[in-house]
Amino acid sequence: MIGAESLPALYAHMIECGIIDLDPWAVLRGEMQLRRAQHIEQVFPGWGVIPFARRTDNDDVACWTGSKVVVIDYWDLIWDENGPRRLVAREYSSMEEWFLAAARDFIEFDWS
């Protein structure tokens, strides 16, 4: 896992407990996490976020900034005269706050 040591302990605890598919969220690990991180670094060099979960029903990716969680649309970039801008759809002050929101998404998700 890339940067797993830089992620809050809750990330590793979720994996240890098997909480990896919390529809519509899926926890990123291994090669999938590495590919997402490489793409984000290519588009936004130096941002330094660590992707750790993705939504399965859209292009949202939850990323750890080192102090909070930002949810970005993985493909929908805003371009201006300076190049691509980071579009942060949602922001959470902690991994725990994001996890509670993901649990609400799980409860409200239309499984049909």
Instruction: Report percent pLDDT > 70 for the chain.
Output: 90
| Token pair in block for residue 112 | 């049909």
Mean pLDDT, the chain, integer = 89
Report yes or no on 82 lying in a domain.
yes
pLDDT computed for residue 4 by the predictor:
63
Q: Where are the alpha helices (DSSP H) in the chain?
A: 9-16, 30-43, 95-108
pLDDT over 80 (residue 103): yes
Sheet holding 21-22, edge to edge: 21-22, 25-27, 50-55, 60-64, 69-73, 88-92
67 exposure class (CB count in 10 Å sphere: 0-12, 13-18, 19+): exposed
Which residues is 92 bridged to in the sheet? 69
Range of the domain at 46: 4-106
Report yes or no on 25 lying in a domain.
yes
Report yes or no on 112 lying in a domain.
no
- 105, 24 Cβ separation under 8 angstroms: yes
pLDDT computed for residue 111 by the predictor:
75
The total domain count for the chain is: 1
Report yes or no on 10 lying in a domain.
yes
Instruction: Determine which of 1-5, 37-41, 51-55, 94-98 has the lowest per-residue pLDDT on average.
Output: 1-5
pLDDT computed for residue 112 by the predictor:
66
pLDDT band at 101 (very low <50, low <70, confident <90, very high): very high
pLDDT computed for residue 43 by the predictor:
81
Report yes or no on 38 lying in a domain.
yes
